[in-house]
Amino acid sequence: MAFVHADHSDAAPANIIIFGQMGAGKSSLVNLIAGKKLAKASSSATSCTLDSTKYKIRLPDSQREINIYDTAGLDEPNMNNATYLDAVAKAHKLIFSLQGEGGVHGLIFCLRGDRITNTVQRNYNLFYDFLCQKQVPISLVFTGLENERDMDKWWTKNQAHVEKSGIASVAHACITTIKGRDNAYEKKYLESQKKVHEMLNKLVCGDAYSVDADGWFARVCQKLWQMFAPGKAPWTAEKRHEKMMQVLTKRCKLQKEDATQLLRRIEEKVELY
């Protein structure tokens, strides 16, 4: 018996975050989901860490409207202090924007059908562990598999390696996001589109998760404070304090008094939340 989707056309839009490093095919994945060209592939040699673009798409089967947040993610294997602080600031902004949109229904980690690198692991840890506190269901989408005779067999061969790398998920899809020259991969493209639509329909069925944004950010600040301690980072305690104040007030838009109190509590190693 064929699977019948419930009609969710009147439901509030679901929020999905797509993340992954540059070259993974995130923009092409957005276009595959939409069935038309909405997203443009980045031509920049370096990504703007955690910048995001919102796309509104209606799923063809369930008619559920979804908001997809296409994020740049972390691209540098060894980020320096400034870029990591910048990443945290933008992550903070993204979390608060989604609080106002009803929370997060699911994460899609887009990555090439290739080896699991340190950058891949850092992206997974940042989004799944830090941003969403391991509470949001995450699906993996492996792209660039158009030359595989059977795309699904890629997972059979590589599942153990992926899981050994500490990357777990509620679902996965092995796909291609291109039709190829003279539509050579059109059949696999349409097959891929169906897989991802089915994945999304399942992700949006659950409740949205509202992240404890204040508590999360405070905990991350504590981690950063320890990471950038004198001796571990190329700056003094005074410089560290100055940089953190700059991030909190200028990038995260905290009042100076609130930022000062937060840093004082971190410096005193008081349990924040």
CATH of domain 14-203: 3.40.50.300
pLDDT band, very low/low/confident/very high, at 270 (cuts 50, 70, 90):
very low
Per-residue pLDDT, averaged over 13-40, amounts to 92
- pLDDT at position 88 is 64
Per-residue pLDDT, averaged over 239-263, amounts to 77
pTM passes above 0.85: no
pLDDT tens-digit profile of 85-133? 666 667 767 777 888 888 999 999 999 998 888 888 878 887 888 778 7
Per-residue pLDDT, averaged over 158-181, amounts to 96
Domain ranges of the chain: 14-203, 213-267
User: How far apart (Å, rounded) are the C-alpha atoms in residues 97 and 214?
Assistant: 13
In 3D space, the residue among 165, 144, 255, 269 whose CA is nearest the CA of residue 218 turns out to be 269
C-alpha distances in Å from residue 164, one per residue of 141, 144, 213, 226:
17, 22, 30, 28
Collapsing DSSP to helix, strand or coil, 208 comes out as coil
